[in-house]
Structure 1
Amino acid sequence: MELRIYLYNKPVSDVRALHNEVFADELGAENSFDDSIDNATYVLIYDGKTAVATGRLVSSDGERFDIAGVCVKKAYRGKKLGRRVLSALEEDARKAGGKTACGVVSEDVKPFFEKAGYTADESGKAGISMVKKLR
């Protein structure tokens, strides 16, 4: 496996395609990708020419950064690529002066975020809010 990690400030087609493969095709989520967000950073991991993992980072105030859309191609799961995406997003947030990273997750994804140092902040209709201090 020859992995390369890239950061983009717009949703390139490979980000959109991988996101749709995982969220729409596998999980049945409709309209799950929003590429209208202006100030997002996207992480994309490739194995050769194949996009295998991605995630998105957005901040409205420069201190709190929201992480969303972390996903890994089915054949590549269990190789800690989701953790690498999360780490790259957190590092980018730190470099931008971020103090906290947050993600709204479903119950089945909660353990992944807990292993990465996030704690449950609150639960709501959209999911469980997970928070991690970056400094």
Structure 2
Amino acid sequence: MTYWTKVATSEQEHSDCASVRHHVFIEEQGVSPSIERDQHDESATHIIMYDEKTPIGTGRVRLLAHNEAKIERVCVVKEKRRSGAGKQLMTALEEASARMGAKAAKLNAQTHASYFYEKLGYTVTSPEFIDAGIPHVTMSKPLTSKSGLIAD
């Protein structure tokens, strides 16, 4: 199944991002609302994914030093997991990263999802740590011509 993604620009699209994050992180995973939103939400580039008109996934990206993108708050509603939505969402986030000038992307993956990111070319670069009460690892991936995103 093919879903569609876009950079969130309107108030409604940003609201849809927040709704998906609330559903997945707060309701499903028990993350405290006080830490789910942070100081980077205003400045980050948010991607929203839809199944027709229904928001089903989101993530955000911001550019760090040394042309490295940080991909964060990636989530897909439970009903659409294992449908290809996550892979498509990550492609959109990597493309947004490349448009920002990033030569590499990094993210903090929940450890249970690290295999998903490994299949997309990410490598674990940290020991396990706890964030929001959930085990995570940092992972990174070069955005090279092999990935079709940027030229070497």
TM-score with structure 2 length normalisation? 0.80
Equivalent residue number for residue 106 of structure 2: 102
The aligned counterpart of 1:72 is: 76
Instruction: Tell me which of 85, 91, 94 is aligned to 1:90.
Output: 94
Q: Please report how far the alpha carbon of residue 51 of structure 1 lies from its aligned counterpart in structure 2 after TM superposition.
A: 0.2
In structure 2, relative to structure 1, the CA distance for the partners of 1:130 and 1:71 (3 Å cut) is same
Once the two structures are TM-superposed, the CA of residue 75 in structure 1 deviates from its matched residue by 1.2
Contact 1:101 1:132 (C-alpha < 8 Å) held by counterparts: yes
| Corresponding residue number in structure 2 for 1:23 | 25
CA-atom RMSD in angstroms: 2.0
List 4+ stretches of structure 1 deviating above 3 A: none
Q: Unpaired segments of 5 or more residues in structure 2?
A: 131-135, 145-152
Q: Which residue of 1 aligns with 2:148?
A: none
Q: Are the equivalent residues in 2 in contact too, given 1:44–1:54 (CA < 8 A)? A: yes
Correspondences of 1:1-135 after superposition (within 5 Å): 3-8=3-8, 12-31=14-33, 32-34=35-37, 36-37=39-40, 38-61=42-65, 63-126=67-130, 127-135=136-144
Where does the alignment leave 5 or more consecutive residues of structure 1 unmatched? none
Kindly indicate which of the two structures has a greater share of residues assigned to strand. Answer: 1
Relative to its length, the structure with more helix (as a share) is: 2
TM-score normalised over the length of structure 1 = 0.89
Alpha-carbon separation, structure 2, partners of 1:41 and 1:98 = 13
Instruction: Give the deviation of 1:54 after TM superposition.
Output: 0.8
Distance 1:84 1:62, change over 3 A: farther
Tell me the matched-pair count: 135
